[in-house]
Structure 1
Amino acid sequence: MVKKKYTNYRKEAKSLKYEVDEPVELLTFLLKVMSNRSRNSVKSILARGQVTIDDHIETKYNYRLRPGQTVNILKNKAAIKENVLIGMSILYEDEDIIVINKEAGLLSIATEKEKKQTALHQLMEYVRRENPENRVFVVHRLDKDTSGVMMFAKSEQVKRKLQDNWKEIVKERTYVALVEGQVMKEKGYISSWLRESKTRLMYSSQTPNDGMHAITHYTRIQSNEEFSLLEVQLETGRKNQIRVHMQDMGHPVVGDKKYGSKRRNAIGRLGLHAKVLSFNHPATNKFMRFEADVPSSFLAKSR
């Protein structure tokens, strides 16, 4: 089996880094530091996902920068020349699977509005450089604004094996969630039946068998009066499960306006990160474990 290890592609490419020293909107900041470029050129750089702030991709012109944040701009020519993967890095690859660390702001798969700036599209282009017949298949998904560990299959056969035997193959799926307010219980779990509304909003039902059963376990890592950092383990893997269950607890995920957050977003992204994915390899049955560091903004806000 041929194995490849990777460092973060973003660090290998030529990029521009700037420290923020005063509150300012992102577009205004970029126009200042990239004064040699036109307004439309700077807007295009933003739209292509070439700008990151601390630990997430940012594409909003009016994103409010705070002193102490770091703005990183990946040059487009460097990205093309060095075949850089934007908004993700490869943690592991062999002939059967690819495991990545996805940044918040990158789509897992295409939508009606965005076809190319996705993890799947970039990986497809990446494997086809070696052989035009190569392909990549989605096994599971992370929401656009959720960061962390994600796995793809390199054949239809491996994809089917992983999806058909997901509960047996996957040993651990651990997330960290930065939630609003101080969670008083050190440990706990939430159990409910999840249903989807006509507007595609998930919600909990306490009536047995009224929907898909979902169980979420949590452990408090650290907290203060404003925020709590939780380690969350899924016993089931339902759509938006963590986000709905945190809302049910009265402690919505930071930045999650869809599921109960009413405060100003203190970290500029959704407070959800897929920290650990461990599984038995679909071909060799070897145990494998991958971990993506907790975003620094999560740790800083919950101290």
Structure 2
Amino acid sequence: MNTTPCNTTPCHLFDPRWPVLFEDNHLLAVYKPSGLLVQGDRTGDLCLLDLCKHWLKARYRKPGKVFLAMVHRLDRPVAGVVLFARTSKAAGRLSRQFRERSVEKQYLAVVRGSVAAGSERLIHHLERRKRVSVVVPAPTQNSQEARLRYAVLAKDNTKSLLRIVLETGRRHQIRIQLAHMGHPILGDIRYGAGTPLPDRQIALLAHALSVDHPIRNDRLQFSSPIPLQWPWPDDGWPDSQRPPWDWQAFAPGIDSVQFM
């Protein structure tokens, strides 16, 4: 698999600790901290999409509006890789890859309890009920099938580190399926965790995303560093290359940015 750094040199969004994972004329992949929306909602809170548009506008001194399209999303309390399309052609081709499930999405999760060693495939039927989704015992008119695979990477007496590969992309899917098997994600009080984490993150990281480049057709993989304060030791990334986990660590610097 191939990835190319931003203009062959590492670059960042507004803060030297905030990595841009990939950028070319068609794609922009960035790290999303926990607590930041991918796309704006009725809260009116700042979102990653608008921040990236402003960054591109300033970086290339663009006089007009910047085109940037969202092709997938992460839940607000989840950190990790987010990919945007910089052209309408790229947006259409990436969206088709997501629909056809040729995109591979890998996550890391720290869950409550000691999960039996090995790997498993989970298949459930999820039904949306008000603000949450629930597992139903059999398909219904309103349910959707949810599939994922997980492998236990490490564990201790109180928690386990899992690698998860999504086969479908249902709302809150990983959170619901892991909670249903009795191992909710740390901090995920909506789906069964006993206590919140200090900054209301959940211990779920969109660790890697693999797609076909929309123009060149070579396979790309974008990987997120393990953030600081992640609740499992990580020896693969030095602290100097690990971004803050929570959005509030970046917010003071963003306050000074003049948005156009």
Q: Aligning the two structures, in what range does the TM-score lie when normalised by the shorter sequence? A: 0.7 to 0.9
Q: Report how far residue 159 of structure 1 moved.
A: 1.3
The letter of the residue matching 1:114 is: G
Residue 9 and residue 96 in structure 1: after superposition, are their counterparts in 2 closer, same or farther (change >3 A)?
A: closer
Q: Report how far residue 227 of structure 1 moved.
A: 0.8
Instruction: Indicate the structure whose relative CO is greater, using CA pairs within 8 Å and at least 6 residues apart.
Output: 2
Over the aligned positions, Cα root-mean-square deviation in angstroms equals 2.6
User: 2:157 corresponds to which residue?
Assistant: 225
The letter of the residue matching 1:290 is: F
Residue 168 and residue 4 in structure 1: after superposition, are their counterparts in 2 closer, same or farther (change >3 A)?
A: farther
Q: Is the 8 A contact 2:176 2:191 kept in 1?
A: yes
1:236 to 152, 160, 168: 168
Percent sequence identity over matched residues?
Answer: 26
Instruction: Give the stretch that moved more between structures: 128-137 or 233-242.
Output: 128-137
1:299 to 216, 232, 238: 232
Per-residue CA deviations over 1:109-152 (Å, capped at 9, x if unaligned) read 1122234x211011111222322243111110011111111100
| Runs of at least 5 residues in structure 2 that lack an aligned partner in the other structure | 235-260
Per-residue CA deviations over 1:64-113 (Å, capped at 9, x if unaligned) read xxxxxxxxxxxxxxxxxxxx159842111111110111111211111222
Q: Is the 8 A contact 1:169 1:280 kept in 2?
A: no
Q: Report how far residue 231 of structure 1 moved.
A: 0.3
CA distance in 2, matches of 1:264, 1:162: 35
Q: Is the 8 A contact 1:162 1:169 kept in 2?
A: no
CA distance in 1, matches of 2:205, 2:198: 16
Q: Report how far residue 283 of structure 1 moved.
A: 1.2
User: 1:203 corresponds to which residue?
Assistant: 134
The letter of the residue matching 2:54 is: E
User: 1:124 corresponds to which residue?
Assistant: 53
Paired residues, what number? Answer: 226
The alignment's TM-score, normalised by the length of structure 2, stands at 0.79
CA distance in 2, matches of 1:192, 1:221: 23
1:136 to 33, 46, 68: 68
Q: Is the 8 A contact 1:281 1:287 kept in 2?
A: yes
CA distance in 1, matches of 2:189, 2:9: 35
CA distance in 2, matches of 1:87, 1:231: 25
Structure 1 residue runs of 4 or more that deviate by more than 6 Å after TM superposition: none
User: 1:4 corresponds to which residue?
Assistant: 7
User: 2:29 corresponds to which residue?
Assistant: 99
CA distance in 1, matches of 2:190, 2:132: 8
1:114 to 44, 51, 66: 44
Could you say which structure has the larger radius of gyration? 1
Per-residue CA deviations over 1:228-249 (Å, capped at 9, x if unaligned) read 1100010111110000001111
Q: Is the 8 A contact 1:87 1:102 kept in 2?
A: no
Residue 284 and residue 140 in structure 1: after superposition, are their counterparts in 2 closer, same or farther (change >3 A)?
A: same
CA distance in 2, matches of 1:126, 1:249: 41
Instruction: Give the stretch that moved more between structures: 170-179 or 236-245.
Output: 170-179
